Amino acid sequence: MGFGSDIVYEEKGRNFILSMAISVIFLGVAADAFFSASYTWLILSSMVFLLSVTPALVKRDTVAAPWELLLLVSLPFMHRAFDLAVLSSIAVSYISVAGASLLIVVEIDEFTSLRTNSFFATFLTATVTVAMAGFWSLIRWFSDIYLGTALITSEEHLMWEFTAATVTGVLFGLLFHFYFKRRLPAVGGETK
């Protein structure tokens, strides 16, 4: 198994219940975003909800990503759900994108034949975060060209968004790296 397998399968029943309870947050934000026509949050929360329940659906077992990871990923969604004014909307957006990227990396490592060490997982999380930011920028650019919107205000602002995405992705990757480095010896796994 990958670098986090001992965490994913540790106390499987409790982890599954907590993970599915946290997944309800993503579903709730998706429903709210649908009714408030906030399509960015609808797409992101739906994607994260699907990522959070996919292992259980595919394996047909009580398998889920670590509840601690889903709790971390859910923080921007709770920020949106409860309309907290702690962070700016740009910070919340990139924290949610970095969290989704981290979830993708964990699930690729855990539920496919690809195995990563913690350094590569950190790098991959940052890369996926920047790639998702780039994809979102392309969507906005196409919208500006073909739908007449003005979503991209300036190239400088766009570059700062890419910088924020990179920094957030690296921070999430490092947080994940040190979390598993600390946790694995406690559950009998090996650090890589």
Residue 143 lies in a domain: yes
Q: Following CA atoms 10, 12, 16, 22 in sequence, which dihedral angle do they give, to the nearest 10 degrees?
A: -20
pLDDT, tens only, 133-149: 888 788 888 888 888 88
Highest mean pLDDT among 6-10, 144-148, 182-186: 144-148
What's the CA gap between 81 and 14, in Å, rounded?
25
pLDDT confidence of 27, banded at 50, 70, 90? very high
What's the CA gap between 114 and 72, in Å, rounded?
24
Domain tally for the chain?
A: 1
- Mean pLDDT score of the chain, rounded to an integer? 78
pLDDT confidence of 100, banded at 50, 70, 90? confident
Residue 191 lies in a domain: no
pLDDT, tens only, 53-88: 888 888 777 778 878 888 888 888 888 777 766 655
Q: Following CA atoms 64, 77, 32, 85 in sequence, which dihedral angle do they give, to the nearest 10 degrees?
A: 160
Confidence at residue 2, expressed as pLDDT on a 0 to 100 scale: 46
Confidence at residue 50, expressed as pLDDT on a 0 to 100 scale: 92
Residue 180 lies in a domain: yes
Average pLDDT in the 156-184 region?
Answer: 80
DSSP state of 37: T
Q: 183 pLDDT exceeds 80?
A: no
Residue 192 lies in a domain: no
| pTM of the predicted model over 0.75 | no
Stretch (H or E) spanning 94: helix 89-111
Residue 55 lies in a domain: yes
pLDDT confidence of 172, banded at 50, 70, 90? confident
Confidence at residue 184, expressed as pLDDT on a 0 to 100 scale: 54
Average pLDDT in the 22-28 region?
Answer: 92
Confidence at residue 191, expressed as pLDDT on a 0 to 100 scale: 42
Average pLDDT in the 118-138 region?
Answer: 83
Structural domain that includes position 130: 5-186
Confidence at residue 22, expressed as pLDDT on a 0 to 100 scale: 92
Determine the residue type at 101: S
Confidence at residue 30, expressed as pLDDT on a 0 to 100 scale: 92
